[in-house]
Amino acid sequence: MKINSIQVYGYSMHFDPEAIQDLILQLDYPYTQGSQDSALLQLLEIRDRVNRLSPPGAQPLDLFSCLLRHRLKLSTTDVARIQAALQTFSAKQPHSIEYETTKLCS
Residue 90 scores a pLDDT above 70: yes
92 CA to centre of own chain: 17
DSSP single-letter state for residue 68: I
pLDDT, residue 60, reads 81
pLDDT tens profile 24-58: 998 888 777 678 889 999 999 888 888 888 888 77
Residue 67 scores a pLDDT above 60: yes
Residue 11 CA: distances (Å) to CA of 6, 25, 67, 76: 8, 28, 15, 26
pTM over 0.75: yes
Residue 81 scores a pLDDT above 70: yes
pLDDT, residue 77, reads 94
CA 9 – CA 42 distance, rounded (Å): 24
> How would you classify the pairing of strands 11-14 and 5-8?
antiparallel
